[in-house]
Structure 1
Amino acid sequence: MKTTAALTMTAVLALSACTQADSPAARNFNTREAGAEIDSGYFGNATMNNTQVQSGQGHNMRVNLNQRFANEVNTMVTFPFNSTALDANARAILQQQANWIRQFPEIRFKVYGHTDLVGSTAYNRRLGLRRAEAVVLYLTSQGISRDRLEAVVSFGETQPLVVTQGRERRNRRTVTEVSGFVDGSPMLLNGRYAEVIFREYVASATPASAVGGGGGGGAAPAAGG
């Protein structure tokens, strides 16, 4: 009796195992990478994305750098009416931009010029471009290579921050953005994306030779800031 029950249980387990082995989940487990059922993707996609990021390819890296730029400095300066003059506040903002830009010699930037809605479209487009050129000129005076900066054909009056037909200083502005990599070659980074993003962190690391002290017994020098 016990033998019959044991044989019956063995048959049920075997049938169950066969059924599970024939299930879609089991077939996918046998033919796809581990974890594929969780993320519904293949390891190839992750490898491709990682390769693009590490080599500086693709749209996402530029977007990420531009987002960091916008988070850490003010990317916009404003202008008096019908003017390209940079006041003290604008120059202070551009000095912050220049300090940030100097940290990343691999990156190129574009400066977009805008105007308010007063005046003709053609005049405002020329005025917006002259504002962008004024910002580029100031950034170059702060030691930024002209090859890394581009004053583009302005948006003129077509993208107001504040929709009004009257004078509005917030619309009379330039916006600086990350546009790409020097020489048009994203491979210039050569897989050093993390080093670029976290350059100040890498620079602040204590050299291994300073850890534990040397024979002289003196304190190790502090990392530079």
Structure 2
Amino acid sequence: MKYLVATAAIAVSLAGCTDGNNFFPTFNREAGSQIDSGTFGNSTMANTMVQTGQSGYTINLARRFASEVSSTVNFPFNSTALDEQARATLREQAQWIRQFPEVRFKVYGHTDLVGSQAYNRRLGLQRAQAVVLYLTSQGIGRDRLEAVVSFGETQPLIVTDGQERRNRRTVTEVSGFVQNHPTIMNGRYGEVIFRDYVTSAAAPTTLSGGRGAQLTP
């Protein structure tokens, strides 16, 4: 009798909790679903990228690209035209990009705050497309320019409602690899670094002759 009473009490208690608490119905779902807000798998993906080295390669190459060439070009007001300074910068970018055929890039388009948000988003995209088109004319494969992205007016460098050239820009960044594994970079990246060291190294010198001898390579 005591057993039946206890069982009934537990059943009533659970029924009450189920009505007022959304946690219990989750037991009918797959494990982990109650804590998955849409990014649950991203942690595993990021961990895999770090463990395999892909994330480290991407970060290092992104830093090197940003430090060795200008990643930004600017535009005239309400225009997608590339002036000579912009084209010179893009030629430098293309020369750097050609060293790493395994690497992919994104081009982000921006505008100043003049005009509607919808118009500026389209303009930012058109600026990014103009940069992609010029990079492809310099021998960069379109498949390596992973995406063309427009931030429009949402990320100004200088917050002003007026015209601001520094806000009218595109930014080129390293985004990942053409193939989905970093080991393809092992030999190539080492080769490039080794070449840089060889190029920058001074030729060894030796002494020849006796007193007053000159240093000769």
TM-score, normalised to structure 2, is 0.64
| Cα distance in 2 for residues equivalent to 1:105 and 1:202 | 20
Percentage identity across aligned positions? 66
1:73 paired with 2:91, answer no
String of CA shifts for 1:142-173, please: whole Å, max 9, x gaps.
01111101342311111101110100000000
1:110 paired with 2:106, answer yes
Question: How far is 1:63 from its partner?
Answer: 1.2
Which of the residues 82, 90, 98 maps onto 2:86? Answer: 90
1:198 corresponding residue in structure 2: 193
Contact 1:118 1:165 in 2 (8 A): yes
Contact 2:146 2:175 in 1 (8 A): no
Superposition CA RMSD, Å? 2.6
Which of the residues 120, 135, 143 maps onto 2:131? Answer: 135
Amino acid at match of 2:105: F
1:100 corresponding residue in structure 2: 96
Question: How far is 1:197 from its partner?
Answer: 5.4
Question: How far is 1:91 from its partner?
Answer: 0.2
String of CA shifts for 1:82-139, please: whole Å, max 9, x gaps.
1100000000000000000001111000000000000111111110011001000000
Matched residue of 1:64: which SS? helix
String of CA shifts for 1:179-204, please: whole Å, max 9, x gaps.
00013443433x33751551533674
Structure with bigger strand share is 2
Contact 1:132 1:151 in 2 (8 A): no
Describe the shift of the 1:197–1:61 C-alpha distance in structure 2 as closer, same or farther (beyond 3 A).
farther
| Cα distance in 1 for residues equivalent to 2:125 and 2:90 | 17
Describe the shift of the 1:85–1:142 C-alpha distance in structure 2 as closer, same or farther (beyond 3 A).
same
Amino acid at match of 1:138: Y
| Cα distance in 2 for residues equivalent to 1:60 and 1:137 | 29
Which of the residues 57, 60, 64 maps onto 1:64? Answer: 60
Contact 1:56 1:193 in 2 (8 A): no
Describe the shift of the 1:111–1:151 C-alpha distance in structure 2 as closer, same or farther (beyond 3 A).
same
Contact 1:112 1:132 in 2 (8 A): yes
Describe the shift of the 1:174–1:115 C-alpha distance in structure 2 as closer, same or farther (beyond 3 A).
same
Amino acid at match of 2:116: S
String of CA shifts for 1:38-79, please: whole Å, max 9, x gaps.
xxxxxxxxxxx9x968x642x222111111001000000000
Contact 2:113 2:162 in 1 (8 A): yes
| Cα distance in 2 for residues equivalent to 1:81 and 1:113 | 14
Question: How far is 1:205 from its partner?
Answer: 9.7
Amino acid at match of 1:195: G
Structure 2 residues not aligned, in runs of 5+: 1-46, 202-217
Structure 1 residues not aligned, in runs of 5+: 1-48, 207-225
Which of the residues 179, 182, 188 maps onto 1:183? Answer: 179
| Cα distance in 2 for residues equivalent to 1:60 and 1:101 | 18
| Cα distance in 2 for residues equivalent to 1:205 and 1:167 | 44
